[in-house]
Amino acid sequence: MIKKIDGGVTAAKGFEAAAAEARIKYKDRKDMALIYSPVPCAAAGTFTTNVVKAAPVKWDQEIVKHSPSVQAVVINSGIANACTGAEGYGYCEQTAQAAERLLGIPASSVLVASTGVIGMQLPIGRIKDGVALLAGAKADTAEAGLEAAKAIMTTDTKPKYAAAQVEIGGKTVTVGGMCKGSGMIHPNMCTMLGFVTTDAAITKELLQKALSDDVRDTYNMVSVDGDTSTNDTVLLLANGMAENPLIVQEDENYAVFKEALHYVNTELAKKIAGDGEGATCLVEVKVIGAESREQAVMLSKSVITSSLTKAAIYGHDANWGRILCAMGYSGAQFDPERVDLYFESAAGRLKIIENGVSTGYSEELATKILSEEYVTAVADIKMGEASATAWGCDLTHEYVNINADYRS
């Protein structure tokens, strides 16, 4: 049974975090963060599918694949270190070397992550100074975890973190995480920066499998604007300090661990969707009664990425034709004359269409339902038992304002 707890990356035993003001791009705010474990961790990662990959993505892919263990993650916001060539990759190495010197760990056990403007070189002197500040400030407190979550924000309006506990082999195992993501968010790997820590004892191979499998149903099901970032990264570190029996096979203990991981990743994914740039509400699209999961995924993703649907929800307009239209061009085959569609929120539940035709619903009630901060559209295509859920947000005037002037 999953126990939801307060906290983020420092919730799991042993993990420390810190935040520092390095003045990389922003003024009068913290813009670097550190995650640290006093003992070596098994590490797993998933990364952007964009052909244009930022230098930190390339560095982390190598470390996750080839390094025997990881002990630290150094993150900066403001500059993405993307499209920066050999110089940018060299700055990843220099950042890791600074952590090696200041934390007393191998540079090969240091992951790095960057988020912000593409095409600018990092001020490496400030980055190194920031690493020194982080090393001196790290702590295992909830406050330290919260400050780290704040430091990695760019256009985010709030820090995003979650944690949960489960029992494995008579031991309490904790999974906690933080992420950032508000714009350039589209489901094609994980669509943001995410960092998850756990004190579970689990092999590197199973840790990677658990993360890769779970990304499909969580971060990959989020879209804000249809743009897949150059820097998308989700990292998962396991330090084994819970002292549970080592998870070495896909047994009941592995299943319990996956449940906790799924809870944390789902919470983080939904927080990204709800904090989309300029957004006023979190939008959830459920496709049920599908023939296969793949069919349900195609349909739900198509609706959640539809700009016309997102704009209609911003206007609290039950323009269901846009939803059916988005389902129709998804590439998935279904019979539109069998589709039932519902809108749900804290204000109620309303069937909008039945067997592809309007029910003659109350526009007043529909508007009331769509005026809430969390709105769900449920499409039942009546073909089977499979389902999928995608998350996004409405499309507002403010989204354009933010992205028309992002670099200044």
How many Å apart are CA 107 and CA 114, to the nearest integer? 17
Q: Where are the alpha helices (DSSP H) in 218-281?
A: 252-274
- Paired tokens of 61: 């892919």
The label of the residue with tokens 């709800």 reads 274
| Known catalytic membership, residue 191 | yes
Residues paired with residue 168 on neighbouring β-strands, in sequence order: 171
DSSP 202: B
Cα 347 to Cα 280, 379, 398: the distances in Å are 16, 19, 25
Report the C-alpha gap between 336 and 339 in whole angstroms: 5
Query: How far is the first Cα of the chain from the last one, in angstroms, to the nearest whole number?
Result: 47
The three-state secondary structure class of 117 is: strand
Q: Can you tell me whether residue 112 is helix, strand or coil?
A: strand
Q: How many CB atoms lie within 10 A of CB 87?
A: 12
User: What tokens appear for 368 in the block?
Assistant: 């009331």
Q: How far apart are CA 362 and CA 366, in angstroms?
A: 6
Q: Is the dihedral of CA 96, 99, 103, 104 positive or negative?
A: positive
Torsion of CA 407, 271, 31, 113, to 10 degrees: -90
Structure tokens at 29: 């705010």
Catalytic-role residue among 191, 198, 218, 266: 191
Rounded to an integer, what distance in angstroms lies between the CA atom of residue 193 and that of residue 81?
14
Please give the positions annotated as active site. Answer: 191
